[in-house]
Amino acid sequence: MRIIFILLLLPFITKAQINRSASELAHENIKDYISTKIFKNRMYKPVSYGELKPDKEINSNVLWVLDHRFEVAESQTTSDKEPVVEQKLYRFIFYLDKKMKVARAENIKF
């Protein structure tokens, strides 16, 4: 009886693990993309990752979409020449290909 129950649950457990691994890979690739292409040499702090969703575009290499909110530290110089570090909140939509690499990104204004 237990073996039948385990065999029935196995496909669901396997699919959940694959989805989790894909999401983790997407998060890593997005972090790399942000810190090397968009905001070079700035402190990046993830705030929230949305759900990894399939994209519905036709004739595109984009297969996945992920909504991501994050903070980036930006330093500004004041009149008394002391640098002030300010955290700015950003929201981007990332479009990913079949290898979970960022194909393009769009900044969404709050």
Per DSSP (E only), the strands in 50-101 are 53-54, 64-77, 83-96
Higher pLDDT, 61 or 94: 94
Helix (H, G, I), strand (E, B) or coil at 20: helix
Question: At residue 16, does pLDDT exceed 60?
Answer: no
pLDDT, position 14: 59
What single letter denotes the amino acid at residue 21?
Answer: S
Mean predicted confidence (pLDDT) in 83-92:
87
Looking at the whole model, is its pTM more than 0.85?
no
Q: Let me know: does 83 contact 76? Beta carbons within 8 Å.
A: yes
Smallest CA-to-CA distance from 105 within 52, 51, 65 is with: 65
Say whether pLDDT at 18 is over 60: no
The pLDDT tens digits of the residues spanning 52-69 come to: 998 877 778 899 999 999
